[in-house]
Structures are given as structure tokens and as C-alpha cells.
């Protein structure tokens, strides 16, 4: 009896031991997998990316160990900053200005700009260790009003040098708070001395679309941003201008945003089911083709489109699609040149990687990522125009439209205008 009982106890102990050992092995393997993978949060899901097999970090860790062991001022090393800098350089070496790593503070600052209700001078800047450069000027902005320009290099703000500052530090010195003055020292191309500007910071909310009617039976629609409500506002503007026969669409200083908003706007101007833009991904199986889909009458009139060096992304998509379908003459200056799609990957410490994941193609499947949109007619500002706040491009667009109305032909209109303005 005791012998049977001992046997049962032995087998019970053995089963418990085997179960525990198996669970320990499974747990150890899963823990190792989790520890050695990078966990990213993107939108509403969490993904695990394991790419250590593709990247040998032995040399990196060897150098780090030498620094920790031998560097004289080892106590000054901040491990967190060292890691953040390493990640920043890793992304920078993609040589893609639109792929960016934001640390936690920079990510918070970036998300604030998406609210469309924030304080500042409203200029998009690029930061490197040597300078802060204005990349794009936003329409209706204090930066535009006080004649800041793309390419301006800001040396200091309120006598504080911006050299060696990161993005958050530089931007905070420029933009806060509203209704105060920021004094900027600027290096500008072709200027022999520093340009000094005093810009009043403002808190503004940009209308996505505004419009007006001209005397010569033409309409004017300015699309300031491709946002959630922009296509609805554009359709309302078209409806208000239904009695006009010709139209100017102003995309200057419009730096894009929502692709679907551009598709919806183009659906008012291009026949149903025609391609308006193609998005091509690394995986060819997930390429996306966007077609015109319209639930009301197509706008049949000819169009003059205004662009400039700040017209980017969805603006370029809109302009190029209208050109591909011979709907518009493009006026003024070559565009910003952004024909790529970025996807945000939010990491578990609230930092973020914004990475180029796709490229856009025109309705004729042309990839212009290595080129700008070159206008059909180039009209440049003069220094006097800047001083007098004279919108030469808008006024010249009216003249081009007048010729367009007479000839009803693209090439003849362009040739006639160029001949008259040699």
C-alpha cells in the first residue's frame, strides 16, 4: 500500500517538475525574443521588428565599452543623450530630409503643430548643428507678412545664438509667446550684410480655402492647406463662383498634408475614374491607384494654377494632375519637390520615427521625385514687389487667363504671353 502511494507521489512530483521545466524554457525563450527586438507602436497596433541579424553591432558596442573604460571625462557621458544622438545619425544617413527621428520632446512639439491653432511666426525650419534655415513659409503667416523667405538662415533670435541647438530649443526661442516681438538676424543669399527682422508672433488659424470674383468674369480660389475640411470648402467656393467662366487656383505656400484631400479636390476637376495619383510602395503588391470620383458636375473651364517653391506634396500632386490632363497652365516658379509619403512610427518611450515608405507618381505614371514641377510661365518677384507688397504673380495670372480666354489653346497662350513679355 505504502509502495503504491510512494509511486504515485513520485510520478506526481515528476509531472510537476517536467511541467515547470517546460514552462521555464518557454518563458526564457519568449523573454529573450522580447528583449532582443525593438517594439514600435504605430497607430493602434504594436509591431515587433527584429533586424539585429541584418546589422552587426559588435563594433559599436566595442567602441562604447572603450569610451566607458578609457575616456577621461567618462562621468560627463549621458547614456540617454548618447543613444538619442546615435539614432538621429542613423536616420540622417538615409539622406532623406523627410525621414526624421523625433525624441520625446521633439515629438510633442511636432504634434502641437498639427492642431492648426498654435503660436509663432509660422515658418517651417530645418535645424543642423551650424544653423537654423527656413525651409518653407506658410500662407497667411507672420513670416510671410514680415518678408521672411525660404532659404533664409536664422543666426540668432532676440540676440541668442541658435548655433548647436536642437530643433525644440531653436523653435522655442523663435516662436513663443504670441503677440510679442522676436528679433531675427538672418543670412540671406545675395545680401552682403545680415538682414535684421522684427517679427510679431501671432496665434492664428488659417482658413483652408478662400476665394474672390474678378471683374473679367473669372474666379480665384486660394487653397491654403490640404486638411480634413479642405475639399468641402473648395466645393463650396466652386459653387459660389459658378457664374464665372475661368478660374485661378492658387497653391503658393501650400505645403500639402492630406493626400485624400487633394484626390477629392481633383475629383471636381477631372472626369470620373481617371487616375489622379499613384502611390507606389516598396512592396509592389500594395501599390495604390487613386481615381477621380465625383458626385456632381465636373468643372469644365480652363484653369491657371499658381505655384512657388513652397508648394509641396498634395499641392504638387494637384498641379501635376491638372497639367497631365491639359486642364491648367502652371504659373510662376518651380515647386518644392516632395513626392514621397511618410508614415509615423511611435516608439514606446513616446519618441517617433517619421519614415518615407512610398513615392507618388503622376496620372501618366511619371516619377518626378528627382525633379521639380517646372512652370509653363515663370514670373518672378522684384525687390520693389516685396517692399510694396505687390502680388505680381497673381496679377500676371489674370493677364495669362485673359489670353487663355481669347485663344482657348494652351501652347498658343503660353507662346503669346512669352512673346509679349520678352
Q: Which domain CATH number covers 133?
A: 2.30.42.10
In the chain, the number of structural domains is: 3
Do 291 and 346 fall into the same domain? Answer: yes
**60 in a domain, yes or no?**
no
Do 187 and 328 fall into the same domain? Answer: no
Do 255 and 299 fall into the same domain? Answer: yes
CA–CA gap between residue 34 and residue 372 (Å, rounded):
44
CA–CA gap between residue 330 and residue 165 (Å, rounded):
39
> 171: which residues sit within 8 A by CB, 6+ positions away?
109, 120, 125
CA–CA gap between residue 340 and residue 287 (Å, rounded):
13
Q: Are 279 and 358 in contact (CB under 8 A)?
A: yes
**294 in a domain, yes or no?**
yes
**111 in a domain, yes or no?**
no
User: The CATH number of the domain where 365 resides is what?
Assistant: 3.90.226.10
Do 173 and 262 fall into the same domain? Answer: no
**pLDDT given at position 284:** 77
Do 215 and 199 fall into the same domain? Answer: no
Q: Choose the final residue of a domain: 143, 171, 203.
A: 203
**Residues belonging to the chain:** 422
pTM, entire model: 0.71
**pLDDT given at position 20:** 53
Do 193 and 220 fall into the same domain? Answer: no
Domain that holds residue 228: 209-420
Nearest Cα to Cα of residue 312 among 337, 329, 277, 279 = 337
Q: Exposure of 315 by Cβ count < 10 A (0-12 exposed, 13-18 middle, 19+ buried)?
A: buried
Do 226 and 336 fall into the same domain? Answer: yes
Question: Would you state the torsion angle of the CA atoms of residues 49, 52, 55, 58, taken in this order, to the nearest 10 degrees?
Answer: 150
**pLDDT given at position 368:** 65
> 256: which residues sit within 8 A by CB, 6+ positions away?
225, 226, 262, 312, 313, 314, 315, 316, 317, 338
**170 in a domain, yes or no?**
yes
Q: Which residues of the chain have pLDDT under 50?
A: 2, 5, 7, 10, 12, 14, 17-18, 21, 23-50, 52, 115-118
Do 214 and 196 fall into the same domain? Answer: no
**pLDDT given at position 332:** 77
**344 in a domain, yes or no?**
yes
**pLDDT given at position 295:** 66
Q: Choose the final residue of a domain: 187, 203, 219.
A: 203
**386 in a domain, yes or no?**
yes
**58 in a domain, yes or no?**
no
Do 178 and 309 fall into the same domain? Answer: no
**236 in a domain, yes or no?**
yes
Do 7 and 130 fall into the same domain? Answer: no
Q: Write the DSSP string, 143-201.
A: HHHTT--TT-EEEEETTEE-TT--HHHHHHHHH-STTSEEEEEEE-TT-SS-EEEEEE-
Do 216 and 192 fall into the same domain? Answer: no
Do 254 and 274 fall into the same domain? Answer: yes
Which backbone phi and psi does 399 adopt, to 5 degrees? Answer: -65, -40
Amino acid at each position: 500500500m505504502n509502495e503504491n502511494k510512494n509511486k504515485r507521489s513520485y510520478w506526481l512530483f515528476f509531472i510537476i517538475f517536467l511541467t515547470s521545466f517546460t514552462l521555464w524554457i518557454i518563458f526564457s525563450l519568449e523573454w529573450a525574443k522580447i528583449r532582443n527586438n525593438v517594439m514600435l507602436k504605430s497607430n493602434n497596433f504594436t509591431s515587433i521588428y527584429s533586424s539585429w541579424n541584418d546589422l552587426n553591432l559588435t563594433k559599436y558596442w566595442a567602441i562604447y565599452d572603450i569610451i566607458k573604460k578609457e575616456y577621461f571625462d567618462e562621468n560627463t557621458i549621458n547614456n540617454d543623450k548618447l543613444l538619442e544622438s546615435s539614432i538621429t545619425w542613423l536616420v540622417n544617413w538615409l539622406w532623406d530630409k523627410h525621414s526624421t527621428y523625433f525624441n520625446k520632446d521633439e515629438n510633442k512639439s511636432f504634434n502641437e503643430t498639427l492642431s492648426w491653432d498654435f503660436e509663432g511666426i509660422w515658418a517651417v525650419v530645418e535645424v543642423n548643428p551650424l544653423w537654423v534655415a527656413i525651409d518653407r513659409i506658410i500662407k497667411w503667416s507672420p513670416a510671410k507678412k514680415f518678408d521672411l523667405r525660404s532659404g533664409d538662415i536664422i543666426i540668432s533670435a532676440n540676440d541668442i545664438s541658435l548655433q548647436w541647438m536642437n530643433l525644440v530649443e531653436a523653435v522655442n526661442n523663435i516662436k513663443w509667446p504670441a503677440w510679442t516681438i522676436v528679433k531675427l538676424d538672418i543670412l540671406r543669399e545675395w545680401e552682403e550684410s545680415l538682414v535684421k527682422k522684427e517679427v510679431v508672433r501671432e496665434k492664428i488659424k488659417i482658413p483652408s480655402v478662400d476665394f474672390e470674383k474678378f471683374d473679367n468674369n473669372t474666379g480665384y480660389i486660394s487653397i491654403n492647406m490640404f486638411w480634413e475640411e479642405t475639399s468641402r470648402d473648395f466645393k463650396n467656393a466652386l459653387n459660389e463662383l459658378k457664374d464665372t467662366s475661368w478660374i485661378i487656383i492658387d497653391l503658393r505656400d501650400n505645403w500639402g498634408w492630406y493626400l485624400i484631400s487633394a484626390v477629392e479636390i481633383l475629383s471636381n476637376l477631372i472626369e470620373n475614374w481617371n487616375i489622379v495619383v499613384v502611390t507606389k510602395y516598396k512592396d509592389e503588391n500594395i501599390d495604390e491607384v487613386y481615381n477621380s470620383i465625383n458626385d456632381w458636375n465636373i468643372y469644365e473651364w480652363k484653369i491657371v494654377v499658381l505655384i512657388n517653391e513652397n508648394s509641396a506634396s498634395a499641392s504638387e500632386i494637384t498641379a501635376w494632375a491638372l497639367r497631365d490632363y491639359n486642364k491648367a497652365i502652371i504659373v510662376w516658379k518651380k515647386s518644392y519637390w516632395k513626392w514621397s509619403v511618410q508614415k509615423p512610427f511611435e516608439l514606446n518611450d513616446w519618441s517617433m520615427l517619421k519614415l518615407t515608405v512610398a513615392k507618388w507618381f503622376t496620372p501618366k505614371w511619371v516619377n518626378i521625385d528627382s525633379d521639380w514641377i517646372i512652370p509653363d510661365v515663370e514670373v518672378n518677384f522684384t525687390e520693389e514687389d516685396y517692399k510694396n507688397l505687390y502680388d505680381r504673380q497673381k496679377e500676371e495670372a489674370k493677364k495669362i487667363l485673359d489670353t487663355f480666354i481669347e485663344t482657348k489653346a494652351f501652347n498658343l497662350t503660353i507662346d503669346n504671353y512669352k512673346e509679349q513679355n520678352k
